[in-house]
């Protein structure tokens, strides 16, 4: 019933697909809404996206990681993931909720996607939940956000120099001028013990990224 993951406990899947409105019309049945699984899935999803971004962008500062994570877990992207999985057509909704377009409601679909993540985590383990999220949310979002993602030149430079057998680049602050709230940093990056680029920015991270960009441009000409 759900591609990319086969449930051992089918009841968990049914619960993940049951909206609370459905319970009002089926009071005699022993049913549970997906709200508790949504609560669990929300926490698991945040950890998955955080881990993914932390590993994929090893030099990105905390503020940018937080901002990028927010883009991945917003209602719009989660509802898009639900639509790709056609979860709307599988939802257990009340007649009134169906007639009012609940199966196409972005917020409801986003909640359902989180409930599915919680159900997979309960049914198996973190790795299966991670793989499901990567295939159905992270990979599609990377393509969607590609033009908007901040360039991580430090990671690219690290990969390049390591592929050439050199040790990791070394970043040195050459100067920091101005008051604390308006400092300007100048940074040099050393590749194989040679100065390969300079960068200037309002933070050390920004200056290092610009230095790495210059080093990449210099190495590309060789």
Q: Which domains does the chain have, with CATH numbers?
A: 10-145 (1.10.1520.10), 153-220 (3.30.160.20)
Here the tokens at position 177 are 């001028």
Distance CA 18, CA 29 (A): 12
List the catalytic residue out of 42, 46, 152, 206. 42
List the catalytic residue out of 38, 97, 114, 123. 114
Supply the pLDDT for residue 1: 65
The fraction of the chain above a pLDDT of 70, given in percent, is 95
Overall average pLDDT of the 116-120 stretch: 98
Residue 191 near residue 199 (C-beta atoms within 8 A): no
Mean pLDDT across the chain, nearest whole number? 89
Question: For 119-176, what is each residue's pLDDT tens digit?
Answer: 999 999 999 999 999 999 999 887 766 655 666 888 889 888 888 888 889 999 999 9
Q: Which residues pair with 187 in a beta bridge?
A: 173, 199
Distance CA 30, CA 53 (A): 40
Supply the pLDDT for residue 56: 87
Overall average pLDDT of the 54-68 stretch: 85
Measured CA distances, 53 to 50, 71, 216 (Å): 5, 12, 22
The pLDDT confidence band at residue 9, using thresholds 50, 70 and 90, is very high
State which H helix or E strand residue 102 sits in.
none
Residue 209 near residue 154 (C-beta atoms within 8 A): yes
Supply the pLDDT for residue 187: 95
Distance CA 122, CA 78 (A): 20
Whether this model's pTM surpasses 0.95? no
Can you say how many angstroms the Cα of residue 12 is from the centroid of all Cα atoms in its chain? 25
The pLDDT confidence band at residue 178, using thresholds 50, 70 and 90, is confident
Specify whether 114 is catalytic.
yes
3-state secondary structure of 201: strand
Specify whether 42 is catalytic.
yes
Question: pLDDT at residue 205 above 90?
Answer: no
Supply the pLDDT for residue 144: 67
């Amino acid at each position: 019933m759900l591609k990319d993951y086969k449930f051992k406990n089918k009841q968990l899947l049914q619960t993940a697909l049951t909206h609370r409105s459905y319970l009002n019309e089926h009071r005699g049945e022993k049913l549970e809404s997906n709200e508790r699984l949504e609560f669990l899935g929300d926490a698991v999803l945040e950890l998955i996206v955080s881990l993914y971004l932390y590993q994929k962008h090893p030099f990105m500062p905390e503020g940018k990681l937080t901002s990028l994570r927010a883009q991945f877990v917003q209602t719009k992207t989660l509802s898009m993931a639900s639509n790709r999985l056609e979860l709307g057509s599988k939802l257990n909704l009340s007649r009134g909720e169906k007639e009012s377009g609940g199966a196409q409601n972005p917020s409801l679909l986003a909640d359902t996607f989180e409930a599915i993540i919680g159900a997979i985590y309960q049914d198996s383990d973190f790795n299966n939940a991670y793989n499901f999220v990567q295939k159905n949310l992270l990979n599609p979002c990377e393509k969607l956000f590609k033009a908007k993602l901040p360039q991580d030149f430090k990671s690219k430079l690290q990969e390049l120099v390591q592929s050439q057998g050199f040790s990791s680049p070394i970043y040195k602050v050459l100067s920091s001028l101005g008051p604390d709230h308006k400092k300007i940093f100048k940074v040099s990056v050393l590749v194989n013990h040679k100065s390969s680029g300079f960068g200037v920015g309002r933070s050390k991270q920004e200056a290092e990224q610009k230095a790495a960009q210059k080093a990449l441009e210099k190495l590309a000409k060789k």
